Amino acid sequence: MPEKTVTIASRSGLHARPAKIFVQAAAKQGVPVRLRVGDKPSVPATSMLGVLALGAEQGTAVTLQAEGPGAEEALDALAELLARDLDAEDPNA
């Protein structure tokens, strides 16, 4: 199963707005994606409650996992999203 590790850039971590943006993007990928922090169990990237429960703060390394056709592309897209400060971006852009 392909994996990619990325550091959370958003000032508020994966909470509130950044988590919502991430979960929505994960749902559009067309492949199952999971997210984990350290040795904790992974959660579906499409689960808002699961993502929030990880408690990933700014600077936390998270690991994305996906499988199936298009998994690498999905991981690249989601990793790029997490590497940006989503709190600083204009939500209307």
Q: Could you give the C-alpha distances from 75 to 24, 43, 88, 90, in angstroms and in order?
A: 14, 15, 22, 24
What is the rounded distance in angstroms from the CA atom of residue 52 to the CA atom of residue 72? 24
Q: pTM (2 decimals)?
A: 0.92
Catalytic residue among 8, 10, 14, 15: 15
Q: Tell me which residue has tokens 């994305």.
A: 64
CATH class assigned to 3-82:
alpha beta
The full 3-state SS of 20-70, as one line of letters, equals: HHHHHHHHCCCCCEEEEECCCCCEECCCHHHHHHCCCCCCCEEEEEECCCC
Determine whether 55 is an active site residue.
no
Question: pLDDT, tens digit, for every residue of 5-61?
Answer: 999 999 999 998 999 999 999 999 999 999 999 999 999 999 999 999 999 999 999
Can you give the residue ranges of every domain in the chain? 3-82
User: Does the structure show a pLDDT above 80 at 89?
Assistant: no
